[in-house]
Amino acid sequence: MKPDPLEGDPRATAEHAHLEALLRCWVRERNVPVGSHPGTGEPDNRVRIDVLGLLLEAEVRYASPTGRHRFGPVTLAGKPVDPVVAVALVGAELGGDTADLVERTAESVRRVTEFVAYRRREPVGPADRFLDSEQRLMLGHLHHPAPKSRDGLSDADNARYAPELRGSFPLFWFSAAEEVVSHGSVAGPDAVTLMSSLAGRSPEPGRVLVPAHPWQAHDLLHRPRIASLISRGLLEPLGEFGPAWSPTSSLRTVYRTGAPVMLKLSLGLRITNSRRESTSTELRRGSEIHLLLESGYASGTEKAHPEFSIVRDPSWIAVDEGGEVTGLDVAVREVPDGIGDSRCLAGLVAPRPGIGRTLLGELVLRLDAAAWVADYTDRVLVPMLRLYAETGIGLEAHQQNTLVRLDPAGRVVGGRYRDNQGYYLASSHLPRVLERLGVEESTLAVVDDAIVDDRLTYYLLRNQALAVIGCIGVEGLADERDLLGVMAARLEAALPALAEAGPDGDRLARRWLEADVLPCKANLLTRLEGIDEVLAPLDAQSVYFDAPNPLREGRCAR
């Protein structure tokens, strides 16, 4: 086989990675077959895109049933093309906010170049295996045209705050008057006491210590509401102090080895599609989930799958004078016992061009691929389906929110879900939730059952579970179709228990097994339409479309 374009110098690697991501987006969102001619179905080892009368094309190095395709050098009208030009042409062909996407792509290429160069120089990660997996996402989302776009982050900031560069930093602390602070705690120490403990100092009487990400702190100082609070003596910036924290894969959540909690901080950067600042509802959502779980609302799932758990976010604190959040807030996340056995799925499947196999590839190389996929399906994917069947709670469990628990040999022994934002609630279950909590409204994202089904199909199946199969396949460790058959068989085996878990509880899994097409998120079109997925209405957060169902193909191939 010809040399892999991802094995070139850091700049060439970054450019090709973005071209591949763009091609993956195009063939998925335009339903273009890879490995066969779109008109005749005959074998074809090239992919071709007609953009504004010019031919963008590449050799197919690997055709993936789950979408993790690999391509050779990309040309435009027979000549090499860089990703910025390619995305400009594709954007113009499709319509939309092309100028912004072009800018974000150029920025993303620069960042990935830096990440690749650094990681090739420093390939060995920290001894903390949980943190190591959080820092492995060199290339980012493999189906996003600008996966490492971080609008507003300077190069100097990047060196300090990027997990890919193993950055770390102390928190920036503010002293706030009690009357402009809201907080809540449903477990553990109250948020005010915890913040003082983390800061290593006590506030003055009538004051509360509130931490911020340093980038956010400096940005907040230029915002009128914060400036007003400072001028009135209600808020005082104290600066950075205390031990260093490390950013996890999301950038905004920080972790410190040995600390009892992680902190999810607001961060006004536009990361890929959205600015990452918490809303008041999101801050309280983690508390509601904690109370629901403590009440026994998901007791059936907990008994059936003790190996799976939801990481709790039981407390929060925010400067919110007048009841409106200011961007100065933190959600507190418990660090589960035995966090060292957990790996971020995104880190497990992340490519490491010029360094070696993915972490998952290293594990499967010495294990059995089919057994690994079977265990993953039984112990990570099925519990999420069981929770939905029983409670109506749908987890937005994409790769970064999914933690895989491994034994010392690398076998899957369980899973965890972490987030305080990504909880859907099927509207048919809302009365039960309100009755259980004794409240009149829920902080969960309540939408029609059909919409939750669609979102879970994308996040749990396409983004999460199929990424496992695609990763193993692209590394040449197993045939993806065989692994799709394994996953389908394990889902079939779970159908009776899912049906018993709740009304029509096997509905979603049956759809995955039987439907010819399933919903899929269109990251390229979402980006061109300029949708902020955090702020958009729940039923219009992204562009979705129907795409062929690879799981059904795997089931039929058995």
Q: Is the pLDDT of residue 537 over 80?
A: no
Neighbours of 80 (CB within 10 A): 10
pLDDT, mean of residues 197-221: 97
The helix (H) or strand (E) run that includes residue 417 is: strand 412-417
Q: Is the pLDDT of residue 110 over 60?
A: yes
pLDDT at position 112: 98
pTM over 0.85: yes
pLDDT above 90: percentage of residues in the chain:
88
- Name residue 57's beta-bridge partners: 48, 75
Nearest to 370 by CA among 469, 463, 465: 469
Q: Is the pLDDT of residue 441 over 90?
A: yes
Tell me where in the chain the CATH 1.10.510.40 domain(s) lie.
337-557
For residue 304, the one-letter residue type is A
Q: By the 8 A CB rule, do 210 and 173 touch?
A: yes
- Name residue 177's beta-bridge partners: 207
Q: What is the pLDDT of residues 242-260, one digit of tens each?
A: 999 999 999 999 999 999 9
Residue 539 pLDDT class (50, 70, 90 cuts): low
**CB crowding 548-557: b at 16 or more within 10 Å, else e:** bbbbbbbbee
pLDDT at position 322: 78
150 φ/ψ angles, rounded to the nearest 5 degrees = -135, 80
pLDDT at position 556: 64
pLDDT, mean of residues 366-372: 97
Q: Is the pLDDT of residue 274 over 60?
A: yes
- Structurally, at CATH architecture level, domain 337-557 sits in Orthogonal Bundle (1.10)
